[in-house]
A and B are shown apart, each in its own frame.
Chain A
Amino acid sequence: MKVRIRFTKQGKVRWTSHRDVARIWERALRRAGVPVAYTEGFSPRPRLSFGLALPTGYESDAEYLDVDLLDPIGPLVDEDRPSEQTGPDRRIGLDELPGRFSACLPGGFAATAVVPVEPGAGSLQEIVTSCSWEITLAGLDASRVAGAADAALAATTLPLVRTRKGRETLDDLRPGVLALCVAPPTQEGRPVLLADLATQPRALRPSELLAACFADVEEPLDITHRVRRTHQWIDCDGARREPIPVPATSRPLPSGVRA
């Protein structure tokens, strides 16, 4: 059976890459004693499929991963040594999996929910249509940030030269900016931007939004203090829902700023 896992990535481990996270999960699943289906062929790999890659250095409250388990709710686990040994005695329920996974993941990663995936359901990459981001900036004052956000929302186009497969193209980012507003600053007084950015047809990254909004800053990298993905969304007939909802952990977008 296939399950979908929601997990978080916070703190120092945000510097691991998407590939690193895949390997971390492969090991965590083995440590958790949860048997995973393997690909066939000369060099079998566990069947994991990840959603949209999170850029290295970003944090997230809402990462997702689909895993093919061998047995329908199949893990058989010895009651006495839940995370170390399998045995014939007992099956584990889905509700136990988040805790079990979190215990086997490096600090900074935590599994927050696991649900079964209906057969035939689309992949994460196909179904997710937008993401919410919390972007903390450095070296810019609040009024400048607010001005840039207003200007971006008011603009009819937001051009940026992007490189794709070695070729430069001039893209208009504006259609991908679904919402943009300024949130209360951090304790250190750093300005915070909240943005909803489309992932279809091509994912718009926070770094690209910043490059377009602050075109006059020499190194936009230097102003990006911290970026956190707070949600991934599936657009469904005008309403949006998360692949797996969990109790809110971050500030919601203030109303009235939908673009």
Chain B
Amino acid sequence: MTLWPQLEPLLAKVQKPARYIGCEDGSIVPVHGRDKTSWLLVYPDTYEIGLPNQGLQILYEVLNERPDAVAERAYAPWTDLEGELRRHRLPLFSVDGHRAAAEFDLLAFNLSAELVYTNLLNCVDLAGVPVRSEDRRPEHPLVCAGGHATFNPEPLADYVDLFVLGEGEEVVSEITAVVGEWKRAGRTEGSREHVLRRLAGVPGVYVPSMYDVAYEGAELRSVVPRYPDVPATIVKRTVGDLSEWPYPKQQLVPLTEVVHDRLSVEVFRGCTRGCRFCQAGMITRPVRERPAEQVRTMVRDGLLRTGYDEVSLTSLSTADFSGIERVVAETVGDTSLCGPTSVSLPSLRVDAFTVGIAAQVAKARRSGLTFAPEAGSWRMRQVINKLITEEDLYGAVESAFSEGWSRVKLYFLTGLPTETDDDTLGIAELARQCVAVGRRHTSRASVTVSLGGFVPKPHTPFQWFGQNSVAELRRKIMLVRDATVKARGVQLKWHDPAASLVEGLCSRGDRRVGRVIERVWRAGGTFQEWSEHFDLRLWEDAMTAEGLSLDWYVLRHRHQDEVLPWEHLSAGLHKDFLWQDWQDALAEHGVEDCRWTPCYDCGVCTGYGLEHVVASPSPPAGGSQGTGQDLSRGHEIPVRLTARTVRPEVPSDVAVGVS
């Protein structure tokens, strides 16, 4: 039943109404039926942020291809439409069929980041579903969630019926089957508990209500299953062969502007660079490359189908992809694409790659160039295992400026383990030196430094580290600011340390933090990842009301024998491995990429009977570890390569060695 006639009059009153109409090329308005398990895939942030999400689009297609499932999409309505919906007593709706959220069998949330947690509660409430799992009845949809943030799902354990750990391609079908039986049996009184218990037996599925949590004073003592058929440890799902999943086949083409308005083709999953701060790199192991031939087909077919003039080759470190040079060369050189076409690489480690590619792409246009050294000193970079030298960075910057760039962006973290003021000030020094390098080529050379407060994440070697306080992060940011404020050509931007504090709370919190999230939501704290809506006071008040301490959850160092809230959830990494890597970090000892060096026995490959799937037995030339970009910063596009259609007479014999 479509709500469109009731919704449409409201659209005249809200900003950017095209966010709510659906109609994208590639979208589906499926026919629902009693024999089909219906999924509403919800991204709990705005349409512009959520639409490009590849995970959601993949599951949308996989489910709609099944004869026993249908899937539609929903996004968090902006505050203006939410107000209109509540005023007119209308619920959260799908953008495909404009169907009420509560009519679906499952509300499946994509959780890419922690600050959207209050939005999840808001969406569930707006759907007309009780926000706490214990209050839901058989007529209510099952609320589930997946995505990187669910590797510590405990803060939402009382609000989400089931979590999925890891990659969703296969497990959604298994969930569909179980939920389908429940639906056909009529979702009778008392059946909700039964279906959840069955789902708890599906590998990779975590049903928090099936576990008892015990505390000893403030500390967590145990999380144990309540029934013998419920697994004690939930292990993430991993797709073995990416070539079997060439999705999305029909990438959605939005009618209105979104954050990544281009074709995306995923070239590999996983990363073994081993950056110790990077949760994505740890939880998505092992490396699985898509065959280069399939990438080329997906790029070409996708560009022809969508009409996009830009394709992004996505992964955690795209320059490591074995077939990268040919894919880029063939794409920018493809004259059948009816106009100039550019390739963007969301994670920049372009040493070997660019040298090779610059020769092939004789005339390349580039815009926007970002490097992520992450830390200001070699010592600090050994601690975080981001093994790039100053010479690597200066060489890359030199190449960039000599190739005609006048501005580069550098990403840094502050508040890292063992960080001293010398390390912090090293950031300012690197930036000044980069400008000096640039001035040799252009007087307009400038460097933008983007500084983020480090938030330790579960399932990483830094999960035991006590996050820096807001005051300490501010002090360090001010150190860098004072050291760069008079430096010619250096601009400094930083993230709000107060938002990092809340991110830290939600990242490593336990079940008790759930009530804090609920209080913040009830106090109106939605869209907390939007600086205009973020309000630290709401969180501090809620912590006080719940008798909990930010110091204890966020700022203290955790000890080795402490039970961590996510210990019953496994990304395949041995706790011993992570602890050893933490000790190596403290000893300032780096480790190399295990794709090309002996195994460190992190546990993932052996645990899954998998191996790293790479086409090339040797690492890319260039040697340095490079600057794979931290995904938590949101897929910036550091480099673009395009066949230049204008001024073809400009020679381009200079290879770009940007790392």
Contacts and interface: CB of A to CB of B under 8 A. Distances in A.
| Chain A complexes with chain B | yes
B175 interface: no
Contacts of A19: 257
A224 B8 CA distance: 12
Interface residues of B, number: 34
Main secondary structure of the interface of B (DSSP, over half): loop
Nearest to B342: A43
Contacts of A15: 11, 17-18, 20-21
B23 A12 contact: yes
A32 to B, nearest CB: 8
A41 interface: yes
B253 A85 contact: no
B257 A23 contact: yes
B255 A30 contact: no
Interface in B510-551: none
Contacts of B21: 12-13, 15-16
B481 interface: no
A90 interface: no
A8 B617 CA distance: 56
B13 interface: yes
A45 B13 CA distance: 32
Interface stretch (B45-53, B300-308, B603-611): B300-308
A84 B304 contact: yes
Given A13-B255, A16-B255, A38-B645, A27 B306 contact: yes
Contact of B309 (A12, A13, A30): A30
Contacts of A36: 338-339
Given A30-B309, A104-B307, A106-B24, A57 B339 contact: no
Interface in B272-301: none
A27 B307 contact: yes
Nearest to B24: A106
Contacts of A191: none
Interface string A27-62: 111110111101011111010000000001100000
Contacts of A222: 9
Which one of B23, B24, B308, B646 has the highest number of Cβ atoms from chain A below 10 Å of its Cβ?
B23
A40 B23 contact: no
B365 interface: yes
B497 interface: no
A86 interface: yes
A159 interface: no
A27 B18 contact: no
B25 A30 contact: no
B645 A26 contact: no
B340 interface: yes
Nearest to B95: A12
A175 B14 CA distance: 32
A221 B18 contact: no
A27 B253 contact: yes
Given A56-B17, A106-B23, A221-B12, A30 B337 contact: yes
A84 B307 CA distance: 10
Contacts of A41: 646
Contact of A35 (B13, B23, B338): B338
Interface in A156-201: none
Please indicate which of the listed interface residues B17, B338, B340, B645 has the most CB atoms of chain A within 10 Å of its own CB. B338
B628 interface: no
8 tightest Cβ-Cβ pairs between the two chains A and B? A27-B307, A31-B307, A15-B17, A30-B307, A12-B21, A16-B18, A30-B338, A20-B256
Interface of A: 12-13, 15-17, 19-20, 23-24, 26-31, 33-36, 38, 40-44, 46, 56-57, 84-86, 104, 106-108, 138, 221-222, 224-225
Given A42-B365, A106-B253, A225-B9, 6 more contacts: A24-B255, A30-B339, A34-B338, A41-B646, A107-B23, A221-B13
Interface of B: 4, 9, 11-13, 16-18, 20-25, 253, 255-257, 261, 304-309, 336-340, 365, 367, 645-646
26 contacts: A12-B23, A13-B23, A15-B11, A15-B18, A16-B18, A16-B21, A16-B255, A20-B256, A23-B257, A23-B261, A27-B306, A27-B307, A29-B307, A30-B309, A30-B337, A31-B304, A31-B306, A35-B339, A38-B340, A40-B646, A42-B365, A43-B367, A46-B339, A104-B307, A106-B255, A108-B23
